[in-house]
Amino acid sequence: MPVKQGRIDVHHHIIPPAFVEVMQAKGITKVAGAPLPGWDAEKSIDVMDANGIQTAITSLSAPGVHFGDGPVQARELARRCNEFSADMSARYPGRFGSFAVLPTPFTGEACAEAIHALETLHADGVVLLGSTDGIFLGDPRFDELMAELNRRDAIVFVHPNLHATSETIGLPMPGFLIEFLCDTTRAAVNLIRTGTLEKYPKIRWILAHSGGFLPFVAGRVAQTGALPELEEKTPQGILGYIRRFYYDTALSPSRYSMAALKELVDPSHILFGSDFPFAPAPITAMQCQTLDASDLWSEAGQYGLNRGHALQLFPGYRLATESITAAPIFEQESLSRRFRRALTGPMGSLADSMRDR
């Protein structure tokens, strides 16, 4: 079936043979409670053509490449998966890009693989799990990696993992249903509250599944920005950092989710995602139909959500007839602005306290 519409899918998984080998050797048959689906590139192409997806930026899902065997195993599996992705992009020009998987939580190895993937394999960005071995993004142990990604203006796709607390919580439901969303939300909030987004402002972040619960709790999280211990790490205001994230629509196309997200962030920060093949072909089709039928978006808004907004981050997939505006790259707060804020902050706090009297 020919491509009907040039959607760009930023949440589309691969399941490379090297990954399957390790999963089988470990006796692992599920990912967060979902059976590992059978997959190959042709199955992706079939689903893409049926749903108007021109290009898929692929990524490896949880649990990533670290299976408890140390940095050598994780590094070797990451390289094999990333070379598989690069080869797939070459075999299907224009149909596949890639977010390279990194061997976290091993920072040195992750830095080396990021450099290789971005500079040699020409990956579109990297995928990082919200947490690995209980370590969340934003932890200072990842600072060296953040610095490398920041130097390269990298795009980072944040995909959830299952934290140990999620695995032992004892609720009779699969981890992908609720716990995945917790992992993304915790990681996003930690990235803000630790000052990582401020310290490394040139990284562009995409949050899976519409950011988990972040749109719903954004106001609650933002209220903590006035705490003295956070003010220095979040000088742009917590809502400002929440609005810097990009959010994909994968498994979140309902009116409830989209209305909340549209209210919170600029529509240009909302990107199409399918979660294929973990979201099988009928679910992928349903997601596309739900978005197409929504009255939340104008015709221009539909084009942006399906394609135009992604082109701001990935201009290499632009057609000759398309005009785009590059996504902004932020800078750290200047020293002069920080000084002015330090002077005006106490007066603002005083004014607020007097207003409440």
- Is pLDDT at 229 greater than 80 in this prediction? no
pLDDT at site 340: 52
- Is pLDDT at 312 greater than 80 in this prediction? yes
State which fold the 7-327 domain adopts: TIM Barrel (3.20.20)
Compute the CA torsion angle 103, 273, 20, 156 (nearest 10 deg).
Answer: -10
Q: What is the spatial distance between Cα 74 and Cα 67, in angstroms, rounded to a whole number?
A: 7
Map 82-94 to HEC letters.
HHHHHHHHHHCCC
Mention every residue, 6+ apart, whose C-beta is less than 8 A from residue 293: none
Name the pLDDT band for 332 (thresholds 50, 70, 90): confident
**Residue 342 vs residue 127, higher pLDDT:** 127
**Residue 333 vs residue 326, higher pLDDT:** 326
Residue 291: strand, helix, or coil: helix
- Is pLDDT at 139 greater than 50 in this prediction? yes
- Is pLDDT at 111 greater than 70 in this prediction? yes
- Is pLDDT at 205 greater than 60 in this prediction? yes
**Domain extent listing, the chain:** 7-327
Name the pLDDT band for 97 (thresholds 50, 70, 90): very high
Q: What is the spatial distance between Cα 102 and Cα 13, in angstroms, rounded to a whole number?
A: 15
Name the pLDDT band for 321 (thresholds 50, 70, 90): confident
**Residue 357 vs residue 82, higher pLDDT:** 82
pLDDT at site 351: 35
pTM of the model: 0.92
- Is pLDDT at 348 greater than 90 in this prediction? no
Q: What is the spatial distance between Cα 208 and Cα 248, in angstroms, rounded to a whole number?
A: 5
Q: Which amino acid is at 196?
A: T
Distance of CA 28 to the CA centre of its chain: 24
Q: What is the spatial distance between Cα 207 and Cα 188, in angstroms, rounded to a whole number?
A: 8
pLDDT at site 216: 95
pLDDT at site 353: 41
Mean of the pLDDT values across residues 142-147?
98
The gap between the terminal CA atoms of the chain, to the nearest Å, is: 67
Question: What is the tens place of the pLDDT at every residue in 164-198?
Answer: 999 999 999 999 999 999 999 999 999 999 999 99
Q: Among 15-24, 58-67, 226-235, 250-259, where is mean pLDDT lowest?
A: 226-235
- Is pLDDT at 92 greater than 60 in this prediction? yes
Helices (H), the chain: 17-25, 41-50, 71-91, 107-119, 143-151, 164-167, 179-193, 196-199, 214-222, 228-231, 238-242, 255-264, 281-293, 299-303, 309-313, 335-355
Name the pLDDT band for 333 (thresholds 50, 70, 90): low
Mean of the pLDDT values across residues 58-72?
96
Mean of the pLDDT values across residues 250-264?
96
- Is pLDDT at 3 greater than 80 in this prediction? no
Name the pLDDT band for 328 (thresholds 50, 70, 90): confident
pLDDT at site 227: 76
- Is pLDDT at 350 greater than 50 in this prediction? no
Map tokens 């042709």 to a residue: 42
Map tokens 């490379």 to a residue: 16
